[in-house]
Amino acid sequence: DPYRDVPAVLAQHGQTHVLDAVWPFWRHTTAPYGPLFLWIVSWFTGARLVIGVLLIRALELVGFVLVGVFAPRLARALGADPARAAWWVLLCPLVLLGLVAPAHNDLLMIGLVVAGIASAIERRLLLGIALCALAATIKLPAAAAIPFILVAFGDRKTWVSGVLVAAVVVVAVSVASGLGLGWISSSVFSTPEEVRLAITPATALGWTVAQIVPVGARGLESTLGVVAFGASLVLGMVLLCRARRENMVRNLGIALIAVAVCGPAAWPWYLTWGLVLLAACPGIQESRALAVAILAGALVVKADGVLAFPLHTAPVFVLLYAGVAAVWLSRTRLPVLSSRRVRTRALVES
Model confidence band, residue 189 (pLDDT cutoffs 50, 70, 90): low
* Most confidently modeled range among 17-26, 90-99, 249-258: 249-258
Model confidence band, residue 334 (pLDDT cutoffs 50, 70, 90): very low
Predicted confidence (pLDDT) per residue in 225-283, tens digit: 889 999 999 999 999 999 999 999 999 999 999 999 988 888 889 999 999 999 999 98
Give me the torsion for CA of 185, 306, 50, 31, rounded to 10°.
-10
Residue 341: the pLDDT is 47
User: Is 161 in contact with 132 (CB distance < 8 Å)?
Assistant: no
Residue 349: the pLDDT is 54
**Which residues, 6 or more positions from 56, have their beta carbon under 8 angstroms from its beta carbon?**
41, 103, 105
C-alpha span between 259 and 235 (Å, rounded): 9
User: Is 140 in contact with 34 (CB distance < 8 Å)?
Assistant: yes
Q: Which residue has the higher pLDDT, 200 or 4?
A: 200
| Residue 223: C-alpha distances to residues 103, 219, 264, 282 (Å) | 32, 6, 11, 37
Query: Average pLDDT, stretch 99-124?
Result: 93
* Most confidently modeled range among 5-19, 29-43, 67-81, 215-229: 67-81
Q: Which residue has the higher pLDDT, 36 or 330?
A: 36
Residue 307 has φ and ψ, to the nearest 5°, of -60, 135
Residue 47: the pLDDT is 66
Query: Average pLDDT, stretch 156-182?
Result: 89
C-alpha span between 127 and 255 (Å, rounded): 22
To the nearest whole number, what is the mean pLDDT of the chain?
84
Q: Return the minimum-mean-pLDDT range out of 122-126, 140-144, 185-189, 326-330.
A: 185-189
Residue 70: the pLDDT is 96
Instruction: Identify residue 124 by its one-letter amino acid code.
Output: R
Look up the pTM and report it: 0.87
DSSP code string of 209-256: HHTTSSS-HHHHHHHHHHHHHHHHHHHHHHHHHT--TTTHHHHHHHHH
Residue 222: the pLDDT is 86
Model confidence band, residue 332 (pLDDT cutoffs 50, 70, 90): low
User: Is 5 in contact with 19 (CB distance < 8 Å)?
Assistant: no
Query: Is 170's pLDDT higher than 90?
Result: yes
Query: Is 295's pLDDT higher than 90?
Result: no
Note the Cα 87 to chain centre separation in Å.
20
Query: Average pLDDT, stretch 165-189?
Result: 82
Residue 336: the pLDDT is 41
**Which residues, 6 or more positions from 177, have their beta carbon under 8 angstroms from its beta carbon?**
35, 36, 38, 39
Q: Which residue has the higher pLDDT, 37 or 49?
A: 37
Residue 320 has φ and ψ, to the nearest 5°, of -65, -45
Three-class SS of residue 101? coil
